[in-house]
A and B are shown apart, each in its own frame.
Chain A
Amino acid sequence: QSALTQPRSVSGSPGQSVTISCTGTSRDIGSFNYVSWYQQHPGKAPKVVIYDVRKRPSGVPDRFSGSKSGNTASLTISGLQAEDESDYYCCAYAGGYTWVFGGGTKVTVL
Chain B
Amino acid sequence: EVQLVESGGGVVQPGGSLRLSCAASGFTFNTYWMHWVRQAPGKGLVWVSRMNSDGTNTTYADSVKGRFTISRDNAKNTLYLQMTSLRAEDTAVYYCVRDVKYQPESWGQGTLVIVSS
A residues apposed to B, CB below 8 Å:
3, 32, 34-36, 38, 44-48, 51-52, 89, 91, 93, 96-104
**B102:A104 contact, CB within 8 angstroms:** no
**A46:B107 contact, CB within 8 angstroms:** yes
How distant is the Cα of A91 from the Cα of B95 in the complex, in angstroms? 15
By a CB distance below 8 angstroms, the chain A residues around B95 are 45-46
Shortest beta-carbon distance, B36 to chain A, in Å? Answer: 11
**A98:B103 contact, CB within 8 angstroms:** no
By a CB distance below 8 angstroms, the chain A residues around B82 are none
By a CB distance below 8 angstroms, the chain A residues around B107 are 45-47
Give the dominant DSSP class at B's interface.
strand
**A89:B50 contact, CB within 8 angstroms:** no
By a CB distance below 8 angstroms, the chain B residues around A3 are 44, 46
By a CB distance below 8 angstroms, the chain A residues around B45 are 38, 46, 89, 91, 101, 104
**A34:B101 contact, CB within 8 angstroms:** yes
By a CB distance below 8 angstroms, the chain B residues around A51 are 100-101, 103, 105
How distant is the Cα of A96 from the Cα of B57 in the complex, in angstroms? 11
B residues apposed to A, CB below 8 Å:
33, 35, 37, 44-47, 50, 52, 57, 59, 61, 95, 100-105, 107-110
**B104:A48 contact, CB within 8 angstroms:** yes
- Known pairs A45-B107, A98-B50, A99-B37; A52 contacts B44 (CB<8 A): no
A-B contact pairs, 19 of them (CB 8 A): A32-B102, A34-B101, A38-B104, A45-B95, A45-B107, A46-B45, A46-B95, A47-B107, A51-B100, A91-B45, A91-B104, A93-B102, A97-B52, A98-B59, A98-B61, A99-B35, A99-B103, A99-B104, A101-B37
Please, which residue of chain A has its CB at the minimum distance from the CB of B49? A98
Please, which residue of chain B has its CB at the minimum distance from the CB of A101? B45
Contact with B103, one of A93, A103, A104 (Cβ below 8 angstroms): A93
